[in-house]
Structure 1
């Protein structure tokens, strides 16, 4: 087959998960729900090649292409996914993969989500597994096996839920509403683009050492339907209050695991205080949420987005901002990377 290129968005979780039920199947401890991000994407091109070895090249924002090998740091999941999908297809051909993203990696903006969704999509298509790609539920299962539960939510556009499940079949993504449903905006405020010291993958394994984990899981069970209904009904205040509390709850687990993970920095706290003051003093509804990183996602309504972005750009801790609206999920594009 000729070249295939997939573009996939990152996503920001409103109900998050931290910790896994099964580390081999990458099953999360709780159901979760997110919004896809229009300006944070990974583009991946693949083509079958002759020869005994796969060729994988990746490029992160502001850096040059790097060729990975199976023993490269953090590359195991990529090569394992190639082997697994090759086996599914019963096709013993090597593949050339080239991938790049347009936002900071390993900094709490879900680069693995967009990356693994794009990778899995091109592999399914280039190896001829079109039925698995077209069935979005099955596509999301295949993405999860690449190593990230969050990545399944990048298969669909708009607002997407992931069912934690208890086995491979019961853990998958489902679209709650498409990208045209609600004009929310996520202003990502970059305060630290450096790679985090404790990766999300490592953090998921440490979560069970936190004395707060059990209480958090019970809390997310109650919050999940509230957030889902708020999305369906476009109830922004309910959504905002819930997602802000949810983010703080997850970081409390991170900070009390062993060893602890302190992802927030002075800039993170500054933005939280700034947004809270904006609500209290000017009545503008905006809310902060953080994945596993220091960078803030400020969720607001489109009518307030220019005000929020200007406010973030004036914050001395903020190096840059990224404006995002709800986006389409993983999809084919015609502009190949090679």
Structure 2
């Protein structure tokens, strides 16, 4: 598909007011996307586990207005209005206006809440923007009831991407690919797709325990970090590595090779942070306790041979990944050894989920 195919024809229905509520999860990339070109297109393909409990619930209320000359939006987080969020939403609306021509027809009120700390490295922009995109698609579906389910999902992912790149991977689950890759049929830079190939039982019901090392705001935003890949001395090698890793993952997912999975996923996490540490200007988002957790996981895995590994997003928090069969033993390890490195002892136990839900 091309982006022009997401521009609608005339709507067949009228709508004066209403509200839609969607719950959409975050996701954790196994092969990372780092580096983008306009408009929100990835420099390399990525693949992620969709989470289940780390999610955003968004209600979008809308009321027809008389003047159609500008966007009208108010944003509320956990019941309180947050004017600081409004510029990001307005930027998003400008990007997607061609694909949703009704945006200037209504006053919008966005009411949103997360099950996890905002701006703590658990990709609240992914869950938040995907939930908002789905609410907007529900309005379009009400205006044009003949939209197919397939187009609804693809366009929601397409729109979410224009709000936050990784948001396009939160619409569905349990494994989602975003970015054109010759080995993944149907893959696209425009939207995420469900991973279309065989996945071994070893990777069903995978767990992700998120250790909250630092719940504060990141000192460098992901947008700034992505932009620093322009002219990065290792950018070309990194983009090729990501493509190679996705090719390798096909075989790993099919065979159930947990050791191969561990090696690849940890390489991806460390490469992501190596790109940050070698950009100009350079920066470090890991904290001392991030490294202590990584070393503790390595020591535990060496000692017990349990298939536990870590990954990182663009932040200090550690995602501890492990199969269902090892959940009890890893859970004890986390409580006995790793919680000490978490801010106020806080962590989130999550597992693979299957995408967003209309509430």
User: What TM-score range do you get, normalising by the shorter chain?
Assistant: 0.7 to 0.9
Maintained 8 Å contact 2:20/2:60: yes
Residue 194 (1) aligns with residue 216 (2): yes
Structure 1 residues 89 and 294, CA, compared in 2 at 3 Å: closer, same or farther? closer
Which range is displaced more, 307-316 or 182-191?
A: 307-316
Distance (whole Å) between structure 1 residues aligned to residue 232 and residue 94 of structure 2:
35
What is the TM-score of this pair, normalised by structure 2? Answer: 0.82
**Alignment-derived partner of residue 156 in structure 2:** 139
Q: How many residues align?
A: 321
Structure 1 segment 41-190 matched on structure 2, within 5 A: 41-51=55-65, 54-59=72-77, 65-68=80-83, 72=84, 75-83=86-94, 85=96, 88-91=99-102, 92-127=105-140, 128=143, 131=147, 134-135=150-151, 136-146=153-163, 148-164=164-180, 170-176=189-195, 182-190=204-212
- RMSD of aligned residue pairs (Cα, Å): 2.5
Where does structure 1 lack aligned partners over 5 or more consecutive residues? 334-338
Structure 1 residues 67 and 107, CA, compared in 2 at 3 Å: closer, same or farther? closer
**Alignment-derived partner of residue 351 in structure 2:** 325
User: Deviation of residue 132 (structure 1)?
Assistant: 7.4
Distance (whole Å) between structure 2 residues aligned to residue 81 and residue 211 of structure 1:
31
Maintained 8 Å contact 1:161/1:175: yes
What is the TM-score of this pair, normalised by structure 1? Answer: 0.87
Q: Rg: which structure is higher?
A: 2
Distance (whole Å) between structure 2 residues aligned to residue 116 and residue 133 of structure 1:
20
SS in structure 1 of the partner of residue 53 of structure 2 = strand
SS in structure 1 of the partner of residue 228 of structure 2 = helix
Q: Deviations over 1:83-102 (max 9, x none)?
A: 55565444312222111111
Instruction: Flag as ranges the 4+ runs of structure 1 deviating above 4 A.
Output: 50-53, 83-87, 177-181
Maintained 8 Å contact 1:125/1:133: no
Distance (whole Å) between structure 1 residues aligned to residue 341 and residue 312 of structure 2:
16
